[in-house]
Structure 1
């Protein structure tokens, strides 16, 4: 049985790897480390299909170390001890390089087992993870390793691999390929920076191609679109990519960029993440537009309610309205800052007695020589306002709210300055 195309054309040298120029271009730190021949313990962090496994294989080959691959989802402590037990073999004369994929699935005890072998140099560890290693990898391992971040591969880099893949398949097959214009570019741009996905799409597009009367296989652009249309939008809702996407969505609205905001909305909806969109949209309306345009809050709430009621795909219409409105609206975080300052005082224990005139008093005991609540009803005074103390003594005079510099808040500011004299 033939191995997958991605394995058959896996790069054999550093220069054949597509992408990761920030790590592997001549003169870059990781490349210099590899070329030195002395490999420290490494942690490769980044999305799937960007060359982490491939690079580990190349490092093992260049350093003549025995490569052992384990996966954190299935490996056990016994597997690690078995690797160490094989250190005396002839094939491990130059040492063992343990490539531990998905290390985030190893629990703390399993990761601690690695330490004794890292300490004495029995094995060289290259661990890979798709999640932030500073959250998921045991600190003692991180302190003995160097972390390198891998990035999604740019489409122009993926295109090189796609064109090579079509050439290899044509050489392997008995039928010439006729590739419609735009097919390689479609696969390269729709794989979401995952070279492995691109290789799978190439292989499937050839396998599903029709054999023409002339004896060729015609690879059609329409077929390539059908095979790749969903590959770039799937993501783990518990992973870093999810939180990065949500963060970019909210920051684009806050930054008043409607184009970026609606783009990230489209990516989230393509992944079916309607709840996260609705939550962040409501938060942004309240936190970032706020008192600069307070009417936006019920407007966005209505759009969110409509979206949840009608569901996808139509939900994208009221959500697009709301997202663009939030992005182009004037901004003020004065309410956010006010509640943050007040909360800080409350958490610091500034919980003074509520002023007597604000208490819910209906009678006084006989022991109180100064009977009465002394509350002044603002509507009984000119301009519906009268000066009296509302804050407890411990925080009396504290300013939590500062007027925003937008038209709405400045209008209220001017009104109250006039009313309060």
Structure 2
């Protein structure tokens, strides 16, 4: 062993050699569980393994291929292409001639585009290849329906703290692990918590910490772990789940939850300006006219975040989120706008009444444009009496909420409806 021939990483050295050595995923591998039943049957269908990083997707693929006696071909969709798939097909055909089946493992399958995924279809359908795809993204969005229908999706879970603890203890006692390295109990507990369900991260941190101190201390674990960035795929399901949680927490007026999800997004690497745009949307959609200042503050926070950048601009976004969470809520304009857009899209195109039309030329005036228009400041009563909607249009769009500014102006809204001859309408709760 030399500097030019370094040992494999700890996580690779400790990769389970049998299904019995797998830590976690007991919902799939316990007695009578789905993957156990499949292996006991001796027939392995194509699979999609969906789960977070570091939970054993690659390991499981290798092990189940070995359990059923199939040849294993591993590809990564990050670097592989259709050419690599063709080569795998040729190898599988040669092995089928010798009576052996082939499992094609495709890591990060969500990174294959539609054409690349389609290239797999005929070989999966014919049974030449048993496909095992691994993904951290929701297969419903990232895997073609045709391919998804030919594979069974198994959901892998993040490892529990007990699972991580068992992995670390194995690393300290297994001959393939860290011989001669000890670890303080407090350090082990700290790393089990920091790993956030990622076994590969836990083992990599332990290996680095063992270089810094023996026995491994809490300080060594903290130094080896570095800054903790919450896991989040910036373009994947986690990202949209986090932005949804932020929006719904603000709408629900829960200040602490709103701040928590905001921090999760920003610390996870989300574009602050995307988050800012969502905050502006919340101000318009969920606070609305219950607090007309909310939109101004949200736009100001967006401008501040752009002007200052991170991390200074984060404070402006946090200020806006707290303000919006505390603000009274109204979606009256949001729902009114949805109603009117639907009415315009589905209804008849009605002409603008003549008295409301613009009349910049004598010809237009001769056609009656603008004739009879009652100017409010000259004739308030006439202004209220004239029609503002096309003839035949009957719309009931805006219904003020009861909170904040809207609650205070409800009486004026009611009187305006009466003055326009529209009668009193119920307000929204």
In structure 2, distance between residues paired with 1:189 and 1:393: 68
The CA deviation at 1:198 is 1.5
Q: 1:159 to 1:287 in 2, by over 3 A?
A: farther
1:226 aligns with 2:230: no
In structure 2, distance between residues paired with 1:72 and 1:137: 12
The CA deviation at 1:227 is 2.7
5+ residue gaps, structure 2, are: 1-5, 420-429
Q: Residue in 1 aligned with 2:44?
A: 39
- TM-score when normalising by structure 2: 0.85
Where in structure 1 do 4 or more consecutive aligned residues deviate above 6 Å? none
Q: Residue in 2 aligned with 1:138?
A: 144
1:7 aligns with 2:12: yes
Q: 1:38 to 1:260 in 2, by over 3 A?
A: same
Q: Residue in 2 aligned with 1:212?
A: none
Q: Residue in 1 aligned with 2:349?
A: 351
Q: Deviations over 1:97-118 (max 9, x none)?
A: 1111122333334333322222
Residue among 387, 390, 413 paired with 1:389: 387
Q: Residue in 1 aligned with 2:112?
A: 106
Q: 1:155 to 1:285 in 2, by over 3 A?
A: farther
Q: Residue in 2 aligned with 1:244?
A: 241
Q: Residue in 1 aligned with 2:309?
A: 311
Residue among 408, 412, 416 paired with 1:415: 412
The CA deviation at 1:417 is 1.9
The CA deviation at 1:121 is 1.4
Residue among 313, 317, 320 paired with 1:322: 320
Q: 1:333 to 1:30 in 2, by over 3 A?
A: farther
Q: 1:230 to 1:283 in 2, by over 3 A?
A: same
Q: 1:333 to 1:51 in 2, by over 3 A?
A: same
Contact 2:229 2:268 in 1 (8 A): no
Taking only aligned residues, the RMSD between alpha carbons, in angstroms, comes to 2.9
In structure 1, distance between residues paired with 2:284 and 2:166: 46
The CA deviation at 1:159 is 2.8
Q: Residue in 1 aligned with 2:424?
A: none
Q: Residue in 2 aligned with 1:68?
A: 73
In structure 1, distance between residues paired with 2:80 and 2:388: 64
1:151 aligns with 2:157: yes
1:54 aligns with 2:52: no
In structure 2, distance between residues paired with 1:92 and 1:2: 35
The CA deviation at 1:140 is 2.2
The CA deviation at 1:342 is 1.6
In structure 1, distance between residues paired with 2:380 and 2:202: 73
Contact 1:60 1:66 in 2 (8 A): yes
In structure 2, distance between residues paired with 1:312 and 1:283: 21
Q: Residue in 2 aligned with 1:213?
A: none
Q: Deviations over 1:181-204 (max 9, x none)?
A: 432233233233322111111111
Q: 1:326 to 1:312 in 2, by over 3 A?
A: same
Q: 1:32 to 1:385 in 2, by over 3 A?
A: farther
In structure 1, distance between residues paired with 2:309 and 2:201: 30
In structure 1, distance between residues paired with 2:233 and 2:346: 38
Contact 2:355 2:369 in 1 (8 A): no
In structure 1, distance between residues paired with 2:97 and 2:340: 67
Q: 1:91 to 1:266 in 2, by over 3 A?
A: farther
Q: 1:107 to 1:90 in 2, by over 3 A?
A: closer
The CA deviation at 1:206 is 0.8
Q: 1:229 to 1:355 in 2, by over 3 A?
A: farther
1:20 aligns with 2:25: yes
Secondary structure in 2 aligned to 1:313?
coil
5+ residue gaps, structure 1, are: 210-216
The CA deviation at 1:171 is 6.3
